[in-house]
Amino acid sequence: MQSVDRAIAILEILAREGSTRVTDLATELDVHKSTAFRLLAALEQGGLVEQSSDRGRYQLGFGVVRLAGAATAQLDLSREGRDVCLRLAEEIGETVNIAVPQDGDAVNLTQIRGPAAISGHNWVGKSTPAHASSSGKVLLAFGALRMPGRLDRYTPRTITSKDDLDLDAIRERGWAEAVEELEVGLNAVAAPIRGSDGTVVAAVSVSAPSYRLTPDRLPEVGELLVEGAREISQRMGYYR
């Protein structure tokens, strides 16, 4: 934990100073020069710091820009998607989520609860397996996630065969469903959100108890989500 605190302190110092030498960092951190050098080496390996053209000095690396860009993109997605999700939640009457790909799963970034008294879980910050969730299936179908090596079973209805996922059908109709595949009694539908370059960066979904979001409602809800996802994509700079 102390090493993490010191690494964060190094990044903050470099952000403030622009660049600095190992000896100066060691002095400010009140650590031995070898400790400062070891921390810098670990940060350099991760691309978070780099040696500047002035030999012996270190500065922030492009890895920081990459992380900042990812954070900014997620903030933009939450902000641009919120109004659309509010409208969808009101129109459909169920909880709406936006999920992004992370570490092989779909991670929920934003949630707008529906007006129903029983509106399901709080999914924000939680990850769902790619093959057993509607958002995950969308991200798989459009290349935002890679197919996992093993498809674990969560309910009797979980699809555990890669061929049975039928990603081609998802791409063709533009939305995915999960019918009691993650939890018994829970159904969901999702559609893809595209970034400014046209690649799928997220999925917008609706989830609800299966007695309300019945299988016969899925196509109608799916088409509403496709339209909502298109609007969010346009807000993110994608026009086609």
Residue 64 is predicted with a pLDDT of: 67
Query: Which residue shows structure tokens 């779909």?
Result: 106
Instruction: Give the separation between CA 209 and CA 207, rounded to whole angstroms.
Output: 7
Residue 210 is predicted with a pLDDT of: 94
Residue 68 is predicted with a pLDDT of: 58
pLDDT in tens, 12-26: 888 888 888 888 888
pTM (two decimals): 0.70
pLDDT in tens, 85-128: 999 999 999 999 999 998 899 988 888 887 764 555 676 778 89
Question: What's the DSSP call for residue 107?
Answer: E
Sketch out the chain's domains with CATH numbers.
2-60 (1.10.10.10), 70-235 (3.30.450.40)
> Bigger pLDDT: 132 or 70?
132
Exposure on the CB side of residue 93, measured as CA atoms within 13 A: 8
The percentage of residues in the chain with a pLDDT greater than 90, rounded to a whole number, is 50
Q: Rg (Cα) of the chain, in Å, rounded?
A: 22
pLDDT in tens, 142-197: 999 999 989 999 999 999 999 999 999 999 999 999 999 999 999 999 999 998 88
